[in-house]
Chains A and B, each alone.
Chain A
C-alpha cells in the first residue's frame, strides 16, 4: 500500500525525529505536537481513557492526548479502530469506563457550554425519509441557545445564517430541501450548521465519506480555511490520510490505543504499517515544489 501525503521534506527535520510512538510517549504536558513549548490551552484532552461497549473488548484502550486551541488535529485509523468512539467520548455521548475526557477543562459528560462546540457527523439519522426542512432551516438549528418558547415564530435569514452559508459555499442552495442535495452539498450544509454559532472547537467525523475526489479536496480546503482564517480548532476523524495531511497541524493515529502522535510530516511508513497491520510506503510531496 502506498499513501501520498504532503510535507516540506527540505525544511523539516527528518521524519520520526520527534514523533512519539506508543501510548507511553504522548504529548508532554508542556509541549505541543512538535515537541516545542506551548502555552496554548488544551480544548480537548483524553487522559488514560478506556471504553468498551457492553463490557466486551475495549474499543478504546488507555488513550491519552490533547488538542490545543488553534490545532487542526487529524485522527487517523483503520475501520473499527475506535476513532468514532473517541469522538463520542469527547462529545459526552459516552462516558469513559476509566480515565477522563475533558472539553475546555470540564468533564465532557458534564459539559454544558455547547455554543463553543460544533459537530459534523458522518451520517444524520433524520435524512432519507423526506425530512421536511430547507438548508436554511437546518443551518438555523446550529444557532440554538437554549429554551425559546417563541422559536416556532422566528424568521429565517439572519445574518449569521447567511454568513455561514457563504463560508460553506452554498448560499445558492439556501431554499432547497435538505433531502434534495447531493452528499457533498449536505456535508457543506452540516458544516454551515456547525459553524453558524462561531464555535471555538469543530468536531468532524469522516465528513467526506461518499464524496468524490474533487469534492473531498474542496471540503478539506474549507476545513483548513476555517482553521487558519477563522481560528477554529479542528478535531477531524478521517481515514483519507493524504487529503487530511494538507491541512492538519497535528496528527494522532489510533488503533484502540495511540500508535503515533505528532506533527504530520513525521508520520512514516513504519507508523502506518503499525497502524494498519501491513507494509505501507509513504510518498512525501514537497509542498514548496508543487507551488513552484
Chain B
C-alpha cells in the first residue's frame, strides 16, 4: 500500500477533500454562468467572521461559519433581487463588513492565532470526524438539490427572464442556490482555507467550460477536474511536504491550463481538417468547427 494511505489523517483528508471536490464545482457551474464568481470570495470572508465569533464564544467554529454564510447569502440575494443594490455592490457590502467584524473580534481576543491561520489557509490534514460528517450531510443535500432542480438551475443560468416566462420560480431558485453556496463555501473552507475557497468553486468550472459542449458534460467535467485537483494536490503536498490547500489550488490552475491546451489542440486539428477540405475544393463537406467533447449527444 502506498505510504500516503497508511495514515489516518491522510485518509480523512482524501475523503473530505473528495467530497468538497464534488460539492464546490457543482455549485460553481451555476455561479460562474450567472457571472457571480465573486460571491464565493464574499461568503468566504463571511465564513471567516463566523470562525472568529466561534472561537471567541467557544462554539464549533465551522457551525457558526455555516450559520453566517447561509444567512448572509440569503441577505445578498434579497438585496440583489429586489434591486436595492446592484449584484456586485451587495457583495462588496457583505465582504467588507464581515471582514471588519472578523478583524475586530480577532483583535479583541488572543490565543487562537495558530488555529485561525489554519482556517485562512486550509486544514485538510487535521480534518476531524465531526467535519467529515458535516461535509457528508451537505454533500447529500447538494447532490439531491442539483439533481432535482437541474431544469430550474439551468434555465436560470441561461436567462432569468426566459426562465420566468418558462414558469420557473426564479426568486426561490436563486435563494436556494445562494444559501447552499454559503454552506458549500463553509465546507470547502476546511480544505483549502478561507482565502482560496473561491478557487475550488470557480477554476475547475472554467476548465470544464473550455471543453464541454453540453450542460451535463460540463457538470461532470467540473467535478472531475475538482477531484483530480484534490487528489493530485494532496499527493504532491504529502510527498513534497507542502501546504495542502496551496497545492490543491495550484493543481486546479494546472488543470485549467491543460484544458486550454486541449481546447486549442482540438481547434488546430479541426482547422487543419477544414483547410484540407478547402484545398480539395470540397467546401460543401467542410464541417463547422466542432471543438468540444460530445458526451451529451444521444
Instruction: Please list the residues of chain A having a beta carbon within 8 angstroms of any beta carbon in chain B.
Output: 88, 91-93, 112, 114-115, 117-119, 121, 124-126, 129-134, 137-138, 141-142, 144-149, 151-152, 155-157, 175-177, 180, 193, 203
Contact = CB atoms under 8 A, between A and B. Distances in A.
B168 interface: yes
Given A133-B158, A137-B214, 20 more contacts: A119-B161, A119-B165, A121-B159, A124-B158, A129-B32, A131-B157, A132-B212, A133-B215, A134-B213, A134-B214, A137-B154, A141-B158, A142-B166, A144-B151, A146-B167, A147-B148, A148-B151, A156-B298, A176-B288, A177-B213
Nearest to A92: B164
B164 A126 contact: no
B152 interface: yes
Given A137-B296, A175-B297, A125 B160 contact: yes
Contacts of B146: 152
A124 B166 CA distance: 14
B167 A145 contact: yes
A144 B168 contact: yes
A155 to B, nearest CB: 6
B289 interface: yes
Rank and list the top 6 A-B pairs by shortest CB-CB distance, nearest first.
A132-B218, A114-B167, A152-B150, A151-B151, A119-B165, A149-B148
B288 A180 contact: yes
B264 interface: no
A151 B162 contact: no
B262 interface: no
B93 to A, nearest CB: 19
Contact of B33 (A119, A126, A141, A175): A126
Interface string B126-164: 000000000000000000001111111011011111101
A121 B159 CA distance: 9
Contacts of B292: 177
Contacts of B215: 132-133, 137
- The binding surface of chain B is classed by DSSP as helix
A112 B167 contact: yes
B210 interface: yes
B214 A133 contact: yes
Given A131-B33, A133-B154, A180-B288, A141 B166 contact: yes
Nearest to B144: A149
Contacts of B150: 151-152
Given A132-B217, A176-B288, A114 B166 contact: yes
Contact of B158 (A112, A138, A157): A138
Given A129-B209, A146-B167, A147-B152, A124 B214 contact: no
B246 to A, nearest CB: 28
Nearest to B165: A119
B273 interface: no
B35 interface: yes
A183 B218 CA distance: 23
Given A129-B33, A134-B296, A141 B147 contact: no
A147 B157 CA distance: 16
B275 interface: no
Contacts of B218: 132
B183 to A, nearest CB: 20
Nearest to A117: B165
A223 to B, nearest CB: 17
A91 B158 contact: no
A132 B162 contact: no
A157 B298 CA distance: 8
